[in-house]
Amino acid sequence: MSGDFFTPRPYTGMEDLEKMRRLLQEGRKAANGTYYPHVGDLSWWLFYPPVEFERWKDIYMWDDPDNLDRLLGWALLSPDGYLFDVYLQPEERGSDRAEAMYLWAEMQVQELARRGGKDKIGVMWIFETDALLRGHLNRRGFTLVSWDVFMSQRLDDPLPSPVLPAGFQVRGCRGEAELEARALAQRGAFGTQIPLDQYLGRWQRFMRSPVYDPDLDVVVAAPEGRIAAFCLAWLDPMNQVGNFEPVGTHPDFQGRGLGKAVLFEALHRLQQRGIRQAVVCTPESNLPAVKLYKSVGFAVENRLGYFEKRIDL
């Protein structure tokens, strides 16, 4: 392969996004030991970006030289946290080209970190059982920092119906008609400090994006109309897998079983759309979230590591 291959091209538009999605779906289908994020994760990263910037300019693609309608791999650099993600076609696992793509992304984010005066770079979402990729990272000087849990459950059997306190209602979000209520619920649940006007603008852009489906933005509405809990569900029809990101309950309404109710409703909606499995990830240290997911049927399937490396400035 010529040296030009190892210098990827930048992202150019929605056709590239479809190729990126397809690669993730093919990777998940292959189940070859590498972790591939759900296509919903990708949509969330790209269409609900940080307030300060968008991620489109930080995506790079390696075209398949034998089939230009297909990617061999793609990389996403994250200048906010000095992280990099690389995802490859399943058959590239362990190949020399795979090594070159990982090294290219590492070098790029290392340069971003140096420009920002930071002495660490990171990579995340590496299966605990992925000895191949963990070995590569160890050789490159990365060390494990923390774990997320990867949880899943089958959706073959009937599910319990949501149980709610009197006056509360579980339903799909009403989109921009509930923009402020939906944004305030998530802002409160996660303790976000972003100014409200910026946060509302972020949510408005997301609700107007091509990936937002209000029927899969499941909420619990309080009697006075506030949104008390929420669960955004995502579909991968090819693999019949659904994903949840984000999930939360506003602090004013915690301890009433609303998180459990919104998750059961979201699981019902996945079943109705032909989804056979649901997955979710959360930090292993977030014990309340792990307990909540287990209460609706999820079980830990694997762990996902976050790795860091110190660099010279």
Per-residue pLDDT, 68: 87
- In percent, the amount of the chain with pLDDT more than 90 equals 95
Per-residue pLDDT, 49: 87
Contact 27, 34 (CB under 8 A): yes
Read off the tokens for 204. 């408005």
Q: Residue 50: is the preceding peptide bond cis (ω within 30°)?
A: no
Model confidence pTM above 0.85: yes
Q: Which are the contacts of 138, defined by CB distance < 8 A and separation ≥ 6?
A: none
- Crossing angle of helices 179-189 and 196-207, in 10° steps, is 120
Query: What CATH superfamily is the domain 3-149+305-310?
Result: Gcn5-related N-acetyltransferase (GNAT) (3.40.630.30)
Spatial separation of the C-alpha atoms in residues 230 and 217, rounded to whole Å: 7
Per-residue pLDDT, 4: 56
Per-residue pLDDT, 2: 43
**116-150 tens-digit pLDDT:** 999 999 999 999 999 999 999 999 999 999 999 99
Query: What CATH superfamily is the domain 157-275?
Result: Gcn5-related N-acetyltransferase (GNAT) (3.40.630.30)
Q: Where are the domains of the chain?
A: 3-149+305-310, 157-275
Q: Mean pLDDT across the stretch 140-163?
A: 97
In eight-state DSSP terms, residue 4 is G
Write the DSSP string, 173-221: --GGGGHHHHHHHHHHHTT--S-HHHHHHHHHHHHTSTT--GGGEEEEE
Give the pLDDT band (50/70/90) at residue 53: confident
Per-residue pLDDT, 6: 79
Which residue has better confidence, 5 or 68?
68
Of residues 1, 50, 45, the one with CA closest to residue 20 = 45
Mean pLDDT of the chain: 96
**241-274 tens-digit pLDDT:** 999 999 999 999 999 999 999 999 999 999 999 9
**67-124 tens-digit pLDDT:** 989 999 999 999 889 999 999 999 999 999 999 999 999 999 999 999 999 999 999 9
Q: Mean pLDDT across the stretch 37-66?
A: 94
- With a cut of 70, say whether residue 282 has pLDDT above it: yes
Residue 167, SS3 per DSSP: coil
- Equal CATH topology for 3-149+305-310 and 157-275: yes
